[in-house]
Structure 1
Amino acid sequence: MDDKEELIKCLEEKINMGKKAVERLNNMDKVEGAEKLVRKFMQEIRFLEKVRSTGALKKEHLQSTNLIHLNAILDYLLAAKDPIHVLKPFKHKNSRLEVDIVSKGGSQWIKVIARNARALTLISKGNGEYGQKSVIDQANSYLQCAINHPHMYRPPEIVFHFAYGIEIPLAEKLENKGIVVGGEKMPGMDSFDEDLNGSETDDDSLTDGLFRPETSNIPELNRIDPEINLLNLDVSTLLAYVTNMTNGQAHFVYKEPLLTTQAEWERSRPVKPVLDQLFADKELLVCKTAYENFMNIIDVIGGPNEIIRAEELMKRARIVDDVPRGRIIERLNLGGKIKDRSRVVFATGENLESITVTANEGFVRAARMQGIECMVFIHEPRSLSELKEKNATRL
């Protein structure tokens, strides 16, 4: 009897929760899709009221209700900045993908997940039911769909909010893909095989930083919008393309630990083939600030072959005037990873509606922390190495 009374009490609580949610939604009539969310709440409420009227209440009825997930969507909708859609369908491949919340005027997509954190990890490691999609699968779908539905010529930022938390290894795996993870992060019982750790560097260094980008090697080429034909090349990319290290000379142990580490990466994950594939059928742009900085570095520490490659690369690229205006210049505060040179390079890329190709993930992440998403393709850094070979040990 006690168990039945407890079930009835839980049933009444869920019905009341649903009705209160509908009342809260009455003030959201300016958000497209709010009526659709109301209908979903009402559907669940009617189902529970029907169960109550029949007197055949079972524990499974409470477990199967979708009210918890719907309520989590509503909570996040009420907290979202400038929400414009809820339960918004987007065409994806031969089907459609329904985004829980479209916020920030259209520049952000939010998915709300209300599942046990351990279960999410197990499913992502292949221990779910047959055909069950993991959050990794869902992340891939969101990222691919966002490419085809850009806002202001950029794919929307993707946020996965975990109402009941997420284990840290899985959260890091999602973040490495470019997903912004919301919700409590908790220690996991195990980890994924991938190396998820990295550090940053100062992008003003003549030799790029000793870090592996969060996007890992190598960024997915299929995430680049095929409709964008302009590539804005950052100094870090120009250096990576012409260095001896990426042109068949990575079999060294250098006196400089940074170069030795980058050479190890290059032997296992060559950067230039990825850049060549990216550059194919695209117009290459280099703004004057990037060009002058690059040529200064080449003049100071470039080897003979690196100088030749730099000249050949500049013949392929179109040098354009800096366009130092817009939100990157106006809204990004200098300091830390936000350097003036990088602001000019990234702002020029945005104003020309191009994709900025860079190894400077420190800037991209710092800009994101200030609310600015940049349209970028990130690769691993490679420094000039030819002049360092004379004091290095060949493997």
Structure 2
Amino acid sequence: MDLGDELLRARVGAARAAIEALSVGKIMADCRRSLSKLGALEERSGPPDSSNFGHFEALIQVLQHPYVSGICGVNKSFLGSPSSRAHVDLVGMYDGKPAWMVVSDRNPKHVSWPELRSRAEILVQAAVANPVTRPDFLIFYFARGVERGVAESFKSEFSEYQIEVDDLHKFSEVEAGEWLLVDEDQEEESLSSSWISLPVKAAVMYRLKVAPAIVFEGEVINANEYTESIVGIVEHGLEESGFYRILKDVSRDWGGRSERVELVNLDTTALIGLVCGISNGVASSLAWCSVKQLQKKYSSFGHFFKTQALLELERPFLREVAMIFRERQPMVSQFAWKEFDSIVSVIGGPDEQRRAAALHDCLKPFIVPDNPSERVMALPQTGRIHGKHKIVFGTGDSSQAPTLTSNISFVRAAIAKGMALGFIEHRPLALTRD
């Protein structure tokens, strides 16, 4: 084995480890598999200097960026005009907003301005052509930088898109698949070697805004509402439960934060998960029952309840949600709350209805008018894309809030249409009538 083969194997191993280290929120499972297959293909294409493996490494560098998440497409193309298509390396979210990402590992001497301008124009045309797939940002990442003339022309000719140059040099090392901020005075020799391929100092990322970003302008809960919510919890007799601790987290004074408040949009499935018996102490008794016993109470859903009870004992739902609420203020669309309230009032048991009433007391300041984004509402109606889902997910999208949901069929259907959609998946749960 010559030195070139050994180098390629080492880089391939580092790349595989980097892909595995990416968090679930960074990239969807099928996209992770696509990346792995792409890496295997590049591995077979020859020595690193004669293959596109540098481009593959640059893709992973972008994925490791802290503002990049929710990757739902790899190597996608979109119609720019009747005679041209725009190639996009990654489709996902950047700082909570939909983005198309284009990655280059070319030698700066071989990046010509006419060629780059032509590609950027096609990408802009494709980005604004369809409201369903339209991103807020176009991201151009040059792993080896660009020459000064190209950089100046880029910023000058695309100034109408509020082009910004992201400072990549404040992120100088990677730990567990994430870029870290480090002291600017830190010696380069002391930096971590956990990069798959440490970007040269010339690496640059350009960000073009192609759609207006809608900023959440709603009010955060104040101290008086916080006090009223806690009183409501005590009145419902839930002050000793894990559910109470969740609501206490939700009801804290979000207005005391100095930084921007991140949001999470709760859909009907998430609300049901919060109040259902399985996540509130019934799982143990259900787990001890046989499927046949459960079928007497839940008919054909006996096996589902058995499975969910066992999963709850292994990974408590409220514990997982608590981690989200520590970082994100909840929001609920009016449609989602009305649907949830209707379901609980019809099939919820007494305890589940009591928890739903306490939940309403705490979430009342966070229930917002339905305000779905234009792009989500533009999704065509299909068997998996219904109007009610577009309202709920679209309201979260317009507030730059990922939706906490188990409705993955809608998410996958939207992604299949080329849309980058912010979401956090949770396992499905149902009311137990306790």
TM-score by length of 1: 0.46
TM-score by length of 2: 0.42
Larger radius of gyration: 1
Structure showing greater relative contact order (alpha-carbon pairs closer than 8 Å, 6 or more residues apart): 2
